[in-house]
């Protein structure tokens, strides 16, 4: 009994000693460190989100501008979505060697299998982008962009089977809202059919937009599966390798399609007849290619840091931005249905983001004591 009193006296005296309390206060707790890591994580994710929204909006509008001014080549529109990857090559020179080599898990899979996955992703990307080109030609940019939001439903299904994606109430709510926002366009009238296009072509455009959504959703899920199960490496270099490899494959497929279809023979005539001049023709294609690379970097960044489904959520919430810009620059109609679709898309995005906020800070509250638990939580998120 006396020993417990001695212990209490010892604790009281030790706490009263000069410098003791200040030393304990000077040591940052794992909770404080996790909050700092969480802030860094949100900063990285915010940058990737901005890249997705900026790249996607600019690329879609420039693609519509290409068609509006006399562009006809679907394979060219497909090619510019990938061919800009050489601008990323200098990034290899700025990757610190210690960052790219230290703490990097060894890839146990043969290079041939990894290469086959890159080829598979490149083929999917080329096919989905070709359907994107057809849909963008036959449909108004606003309607096309919102229909592409159905890619979220495809991505959710593929992520469930490939990546064991968990569906919380907030995530489910987000998927439902974003899917409904695109499904509302089914109730639009025939006024959505662009001038000069038949209803048959408009229907083909809708089917291609859905096909593009399915292919894009599959490619995102396979990309996440590759990073998590095969490469087991979310470093910047691994992300850059993925972008350049699949872009190279898709570019080669697009060039073959451009030559085999005979469209390559009409490019010079297309340039000469471009309404706003040859220079504008070249600048439209160049800036479209650069915009798609910005979009790709942001997308893979979100896949590595969070999941393919969240990257798709960001892309989906960015789609309603395009109809607003299209109404400003191309005078597309912005009726009540599209406005409701925009509001539902934003609501769905907020719902999913709130779930990510809960997941991040659940790590902090469930593992507040041990340093190992803190480091593991930071590893999983950052």
For residue 39, tell me if it sits in a domain: no
Average pLDDT over residues 311-325: 74
Condensed to tens digits (0 to 9), the pLDDT of residues 230-244 reads: 887 767 788 788 889
Most confident of 18-32, 72-86, 149-163: 72-86
For residue 224, tell me if it sits in a domain: yes
Tokens matching residue 322: 């395009």
Average pLDDT over residues 225-230: 84
CB of 109 closer than 8 Å to CB of 117: no
More confident residue, 63 or 29: 63
Condensed to tens digits (0 to 9), the pLDDT of residues 35-68 reads: 555 677 788 888 998 999 899 889 988 988 998 8
So what's the pLDDT on residue 229?
83
Condensed to tens digits (0 to 9), the pLDDT of residues 167-181 reads: 888 888 877 887 777
For residue 176, tell me if it sits in a domain: yes
For residue 8, tell me if it sits in a domain: no
- Give CA–CA dist 373/185, Å, rounded: 47
So what's the pLDDT on residue 188?
56
Average pLDDT over residues 92-111: 58
Alpha-carbon distance values, 96 to 194, 236, 237, 334 (Å): 51, 10, 10, 48
Number of domains in the chain: 1
For residue 165, tell me if it sits in a domain: yes
Tokens matching residue 303: 């896949």
Label residue 24 by pLDDT band (50, 70, 90): very low
Structural domain of residue 116, as residue ranges?
A: 56-94+109-346
Label residue 247 by pLDDT band (50, 70, 90): very high
Condensed to tens digits (0 to 9), the pLDDT of residues 61-97 reads: 898 899 889 898 999 999 999 999 998 888 888 765 5
pLDDT at 366 over 60: no
**Nearby residues of 246 by Cβ (< 8 Å), 6 or more positions away:** 82, 118, 121, 122, 125
So what's the pLDDT on residue 205?
86
**Nearby residues of 112 by Cβ (< 8 Å), 6 or more positions away:** none
User: What is the maximal distance between C-alpha atoms in the chain?
Assistant: 100
Label residue 379 by pLDDT band (50, 70, 90): very low
- Give CA–CA dist 332/329, Å, rounded: 8
For residue 175, tell me if it sits in a domain: yes
For residue 21, tell me if it sits in a domain: no
Tokens matching residue 184: 């509302």
Average pLDDT over residues 207-228: 85
For residue 4, tell me if it sits in a domain: no
- Give CA–CA dist 372/226, Å, rounded: 27
């Amino acid at each position: 009994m006396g020993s417990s009193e001695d212990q209490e006296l010892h604790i009281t005296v030790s706490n009263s000693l000069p410098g003791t309390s200040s030393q304990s206060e000077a040591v940052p707790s794992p909770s404080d460190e996790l909050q700092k890591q969480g802030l860094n994580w949100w900063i990285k994710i915010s940058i990737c989100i901005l890249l997705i929204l900026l790249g996607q909006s600019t690329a879609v509008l420039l693609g519509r501008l290409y068609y509006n001014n006399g562009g006809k080549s679907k394979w060219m529109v497909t090619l510019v979505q990938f061919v800009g990857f050489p601008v990323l090559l200098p990034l290899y020179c700025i990757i610190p060697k210690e960052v790219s080599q230290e703490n990097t898990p060894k890839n146990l899979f043969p290079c041939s299998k990894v290469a086959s996955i890159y080829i598979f992703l490149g083929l999917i990307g080329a096919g989905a982008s070709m359907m994107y080109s057809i849909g963008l030609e036959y449909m108004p940019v606003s309607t096309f962009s919102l229909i592409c939001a159905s890619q979220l439903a495809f991505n959710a299904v593929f992520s469930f089977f490939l990546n064991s994606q968990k569906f919380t109430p907030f995530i489910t709510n987000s998927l439902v809202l974003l899917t409904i926002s695109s499904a509302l366009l089914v109730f639009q009238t025939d006024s959505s059919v662009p001038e000069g296009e038949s209803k048959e072509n408009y229907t083909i455009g809708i089917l291609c937009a859905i096909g593009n959504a399915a292919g894009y959703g599959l490619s995102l899920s396979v990309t996440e599966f590759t990073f998590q199960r095969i490469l087991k490496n979310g470093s910047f270099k691994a992300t850059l390798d993925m972008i350049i490899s699949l872009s190279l494959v898709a570019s080669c497929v697009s060039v073959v399609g451009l030559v085999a279809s005979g469209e390559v023979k009409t490019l010079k005539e297309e340039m000469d007849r471009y309404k706003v001049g040859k220079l504008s023709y070249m600048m439209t294609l160049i800036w479209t290619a650069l915009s798609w690379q910005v979009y790709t970097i942001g997308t893979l960044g979100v896949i590595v840091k969070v999941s393919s489904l969240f990257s798709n959520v960001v892309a989906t919430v960015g789609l309603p931005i395009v109809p607003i810009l299209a109404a400003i620059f191309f005078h597309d109609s912005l009726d009540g249905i599209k406005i409701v679709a925009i509001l539902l898309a934003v609501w769905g995005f907020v719902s999913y983001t709130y779930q990510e906020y809960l997941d991040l800070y659940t790590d902090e509250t469930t593992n507040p004591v041990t340093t190992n638990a803190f480091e593991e939580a930071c590893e999983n998120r950052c």
